[in-house]
Amino acid sequence: MASQTLQSVPAEPSPARHEMSPEDAARRDAEGQAYFDKVMAEDSRIEPRDWMPPAYRKTLLRQISQHAHSEIIGMQPEANWISRAPSLKRKAILMAKVQDEAGHGLYLYSAAETLGQPRDAMMQDLMSGKAKYSSIFNYPARTWADMGAIGWMVDGAAIANQVPLCRASFGPYGRAMVRVCKEESFHQRQGFEILLELSHGTPEQKQMAQDAVNRWYAPALMMFGPPDDDSPNSKQSMAWNIKRFSNDELRNRFVGMMMEQVKVLGLTLPDKDIRFNEETKKWEHGPLDWEEFHEVIAGRGQCNAQRLERRREAHQNGAWVREAAAAYAKKQARKQAEKETAA
């Protein structure tokens, strides 16, 4: 949806903002805010051309574009293993999964564009290093078992995060999330299956699976974001019905699910402090290295430079395709015009 560009045919067109007197603009803002508040109170949805507080627009734009960037960069750790997948079946599955990640990125850019930001500008921000993306994709995928651990834990954490986002107050974001969530469950199951097969294989294969789980566990938990008392924007996002649960709530819930599932795998989680707190009825986990998290976010993780370099390279290598397609479209349009004049 690119509703910013849609033409409007109102009964009485409302003038553009810059054409309004300060009083009219103030009145419109007040009316807009009142309507926005009503939508929030009713837990209804805001659509692209509705009035919205500038901070709401900015927050969404940041969140949705970061989410899109994460999907696009997220293709890399797995694309890295396509040529080395252990069977043709696994290769086909991995290719479908990486293609899905590209699709998810595009759904999300499409949703972000309805807020008035062109996709090209977002891409530029990603490639220049100005925009952020999920810290998880700056860790290397060292072995084939990492494909299993990424699918099971990283996509698992993403699902736990994204399911509540299907009810986000901004319509296009929620709708994109519904589509994404439907597709993610295949990602998680195929990852689980990879680990299950390895853990029932040779002792070396089982060890490889355990090693992958050990390395991805803490980074996956940190995908939910900093602890609640260190997450200043969460409260506002929850008031705006963008976020439905706090970072820690989602993280604790996720730990509980992992705890059950890891038993089926015959593996263990590298955290001896996991326990179910009978009083709070919540799962708890051991300490996480938040210093590392902030370092990775700040661009100093193991693979940050490599990921961005690869993204720039892919963009540059694709330039001729974009140019050729545009030239072809122009030529076709000219031919069509000539035919019409001749007729």
Enter the tokens of residue 91: 């290769």
Residue 265 has a CB neighbour count (10 Å cut-off) of: 20
User: CA 169, CA 46: separation in Å to the nearest integer?
Assistant: 6
Q: Which of 53, 80, 103, 131 binds another protein (CB under 8 A)?
A: 103
Listed residue (97, 71, 101) closest to 82, CA to CA: 97
| Contact string 266-305 vs another protein (x = CB under 8 A) | ----------------------------------------
Q: How far is the CB of 159 from another protein (least distance, A)?
A: 17
For position 47 contacting another protein by CB under 8 A, the verdict is: yes
Listed residue (172, 116, 161, 167) closest to 134, CA to CA: 161
Q: Which residue lies nearer to another protein by CB, 175 or 253? A: 175
284 with 274: CB under 8 angstroms? yes
Stretch that binds another protein, among 101-109, 198-206, 236-244, 294-302 (CB under 8 A): 101-109
- The single-letter code of the amino acid at 47 is E
The residue to which tokens 């009219």 are assigned: 24
Work out the burial of residue 111: count CB atoms within 10 Å of its CB; fewer than 13 is exposed, 13-18 middle, 19 or more buried: buried
Enter the tokens of residue 37: 């508040």
E strands, 60-199, in order = none
User: CA 263, CA 213: separation in Å to the nearest integer?
Assistant: 13
Q: How far is the CB of 61 from another protein (least distance, A)?
A: 16
Residues 114-133 that bind another protein (CB under 8 A): 118-120
Q: Which of 84, 142, 300, 322 binds another protein (CB under 8 A)?
A: 322
Stretch that binds another protein, among 141-149, 158-166, 259-267, 324-332 (CB under 8 A): 324-332
Q: Which of 107, 133, 139, 217 binds another protein (CB under 8 A)?
A: 107
Q: Which of 140, 289, 325, 335 binds another protein (CB under 8 A)?
A: 325
Residues comprising the chain, all counted: 343
Q: How far is the CB of 2 from another protein (least distance, A)?
A: 4
First CA to last CA distance, the chain:
36
Listed residue (89, 102, 84, 87) closest to 146, CA to CA: 84
Residue 239 has a CB neighbour count (10 Å cut-off) of: 11
User: CA 132, CA 125: separation in Å to the nearest integer?
Assistant: 9
Stretch that binds another protein, among 80-88, 155-163, 229-237, 328-336 (CB under 8 A): 328-336
| Contact string 180-219 vs another protein (x = CB under 8 A) | ---x------------------------------------
Q: How far is the CB of 242 from another protein (least distance, A)?
A: 19
Stretch that binds another protein, among 131-139, 174-182, 202-210, 280-288 (CB under 8 A): 174-182
User: CA 136, CA 216: separation in Å to the nearest integer?
Assistant: 9
Q: Which residue lies nearer to another protein by CB, 186 or 245? A: 186
Q: Which of 5, 202, 280, 341 binds another protein (CB under 8 A)?
A: 5
| Contact string 6-45 vs another protein (x = CB under 8 A) | xxxxxxxxx-------------x------x----------
The DSSP element (H or E) to which 277 belongs, if any, is strand 275-277
User: CA 285, CA 255: separation in Å to the nearest integer?
Assistant: 7
Q: Which of 50, 211, 249, 284 binds another protein (CB under 8 A)?
A: 50
Instruction: Write out the residues near another protein by the rule CB under 8 A.
Output: 1-3, 5-14, 28, 35, 47, 49-51, 96, 99-100, 103, 106-107, 110-111, 113, 118-120, 175-176, 179, 183, 322-323, 325-326, 328-330, 332-333, 336
